[in-house]
Amino acid sequence: MVAQFLGLKLRLLANTFKRSPWQIVGMLIALLYGLGAASFAVIGLVGLRFVDPEVARVIVIAAGSLIVAGFLVVPLAFGVDDTLDPRKFSLFGISTSKLAALLALTALVSIPSLAVILVGLAQVVTWSRGALPTFLSLLSAVLIVVTCVLGARVTTSLAAFLLSTRRAREITGLVALVALVAVSPAIALLASVNWASDGLAALTRIVDFVSWTPLGAAWAAPADAATGNASVAIQKFFLAIVFAALLWAAWRALVATMLVTPPREGRSRTYTSLGWFDRLPATPLGAIAARSFTYWLRDARYRVQLVIVPIVPMLMVVVFLLGGVYWQNLALLPLPIMCLFLSWSVHNDVAYDNTAIWLHVASNVSGVADRLGRIIPVLLLGAVLIAVGAPITAALYGDWSALPSVIGVSACILLSGLGLSSLLSARFPYPAVRPGDSPFTQPQASGGAASLVQSIAFLATVLLTVPSLLIGLFGLVERETLPALSLVTGLAVGLTALVLGVRLGGKTFERRGPELLAFTQRN
């Protein structure tokens, strides 16, 4: 039966090369990339055989811990297609333990598993510095492969089992995004370390902690033996054994559960009203605004943008704090940045409609109604954000005379950005994630056009805000008339940009309606 399962896995791998030519090219590139990364790691580990044991220990444990973490986290966070899902064998009468062992064995037939096997064997060369280190490195190589393979099987099956519905995958993607951003301050802190003089000491402290965790225990056992800490090496080796045993127990329990549990299905919903369409006027403007409100509340692509709006400025604040910037000055930063990202979020709104744009073209809706209806939710959210955030910003800054300037700059960014977005989304749409797809997928053919339009939207918004911003900065020193002037300037420039953007964007939408419909059908 082992031969049958391995043959099945090999046939499944061979079938992947019967897809379209571009998919084959992508798989070949991924294959070459994986083998290249593994070859680079193997060469590095062999080279570390001739490096001081203390230095080699730090490098091996740090890199090895990242490898184990990747096998554990990537399938759960981003999902992986599980071709050998345990539920597919529920009618074959195979015992749970036997099926779990067979599926774990077939998991060795993959590019990531081959790579980690090569790396595990290469670390034996690194620690061939005596009888005990060599012996522990051989056993650790087995533990490393078992830990990575079983860990990947557990997290892959959990992702397939628990994240079968689209909403669950969207929530997991959002959590992964937040977690990724949360790690960024730690990366910034590491970047602030003077690695030339203090790098090894800082990394050693991190490695000393990680080596006592399941991520680094198997890598640390032969390393500690090579540096003369035999008793510590034995303790970490047994810790690695315990973690591998727990992974096997978790994998067997997961297989047993999946064999008797049918696939999860999304629940159907019953709606008793038309939602926002009941609350807003029955006019073209009201209908488009209602649809936009619905998008922002129910479409994962828009929810991701809402999550990003507060995260980016807070991340910038943390990075600047780590860089030594005074925190009261940083209090002025989050609100304008949030307004910038909020107004920028609709610069490609037409592409998000996909083929549904035909409703606007077929009904000959007014271009101004289309432009205004799309930005009303963002405009209202931005107004609430400024109303709540501006007093908090001034209070944190410690000078209430800065309040008019904060309102003026933030309003100018919000209104100017919405005006520019109204024009750009009608004149220069580019391919976007399709409705129903994961918001984290990359649309085809976005290329340089997307980057150019995004840059124009950002830079033009910032340039229009420069007059109000400069007046507001000078007003932090001269607190008499300049803050009020910054407010008036910001509102004047922002409203002018908004009106012009909506009018020009409306005319562009009316003139290019058939072209926009053709664009959405192609992408």
The vertex-464 CA angle with 462 and 466, nearest 5°, equals 70
| Overall pTM > 0.75 | no
Contact 126, 45 (CB under 8 A): yes
Max Cα distance, the chain (Å):
85
Closest to 363 in 3D by CA, of 429, 284, 425: 284
In total, the chain counts a number of residues equal to: 523
pLDDT of residue 446: 47
pLDDT of residue 518: 83
How far is residue 250's CA from residue 234's CA, in Å, rounded to a whole number?
24
Please list, in sequence order, all residues whose beta carbon lies within 8 angstroms of the beta carbon of residue 272, skipping any fewer than 6 positions away: none
How many CB atoms sit inside 10 A of residue 209's CB?
10
pLDDT of residue 365: 86
How many CB atoms sit inside 10 A of residue 352's CB?
21
Give tens-digit pLDDT for 240-249: 999 999 999 9
pLDDT of residue 249: 92
Distances (CA, A) of 465 to 38, 71, 425, 455, 487: 49, 46, 20, 15, 11
Contact 211, 58 (CB under 8 A): no
Classify residue 347 by its DSSP letter. Answer: T
Give tens-digit pLDDT for 430-485: 877 777 666 655 554 444 566 677 788 888 888 999 999 999 888 888 777 888 99
pLDDT of residue 452: 76
**Domain spans, the chain:** 2-77+85-259, 283-522
Residues with pLDDT less than 50, the chain: 195, 444-447
pLDDT of residue 29: 75
pLDDT of residue 235: 92
pLDDT of residue 105: 85
How far is residue 315's CA from residue 181's CA, in Å, rounded to a whole number?
7
pLDDT of residue 206: 81
